[in-house]
Structure 1
């Protein structure tokens, strides 16, 4: 497989879930720096896309998949997300996005609760970089731990 295709694969999978980037990047033999950068850029592409085009995407999906049945307003999962938002704000959502949420989930959540675009982007860059580096190092030097916990 050509190197550019490997880069694009790591980048694209990191846009969905950041842990895919370090595992696949290191499996391809990329350096820690290359893997961290590709993982971070993949995550941030999703965050930028959903932060700047989120309302349009939401309106389109509502028109296409409009449901007739009424959903419950407060479920245990929604209550937990509201608790995270009220306690930690955008910084908390950005911190938990790479490890618990996906870039898609974190960006949607931060936008849905009304976070400012500049604040969302700033915190996601910061915590995305930190977690991409940590996850890459963990995958490189402690991969056996990740296998024991069932992450890989």
Structure 2
């Protein structure tokens, strides 16, 4: 039992920083699709809640990055602004599990002053959508006779 709890705990810790780690490590650990989904969504949402709720405190109490002037528009920030203008909150939330990390997507939404409730809702819906797709597609792939035997 302790072995199972440790497996789930370390997969949860990995999903705090990278969404796809949940289904991939869950597959390696032998978790079911539902277990992978719960751990993956739980890890991402822990990061979203932590960054969103602590973000105001960090801005108020820490002078992060104010010591030297940065370029306002670097190629990276231009891409972020372009995605934001084109797709908004829904686009950033949708891209977070695929391209961004839970940390990156949440920081972008907080930087554009999105209401906390919207951040929580859209990130949860995105995590559930992609978590279902990743977890159950991995489970389905394992049931294919030749491929499933190779991956086990």
TM-score relative to the length of structure 2: 0.85
Secondary structure of 2:99's partner? coil
**Aligned Cα RMSD in Å?**
1.8
Give me the whole-angstrom Cα distance separating, in 1, the residues matched to 2:59 and 2:67. 17
8 A Cα contact 2:32 2:139, kept in partner: no
CA deviation profile, 1:71-103 (whole Å, cap 9, x unmatched): 111011101101111121111110000010000
Structure 1 residue 43: deviation in Å?
0.3
Considering only CA atoms, is the larger Rg found in Structure 1 or Structure 2? 2
Note the residue ranges of structure 1 that are not aligned, 5 or more in a row: 144-152
Structure 1 residue 132: deviation in Å?
1.2
Secondary structure of 1:16's partner? coil
Note the residue ranges of structure 2 that are not aligned, 5 or more in a row: 143-152
User: Is 1:48 the equivalent of 2:49?
Assistant: yes
Q: How does 1:110-121 map to 2 (within 5 A)?
A: 110-121=109-120
TM-score relative to the length of structure 1: 0.85
- Alpha carbons of 1:26 and 1:85: their partners in 2 closer, same or farther (altered >3 Å)? same
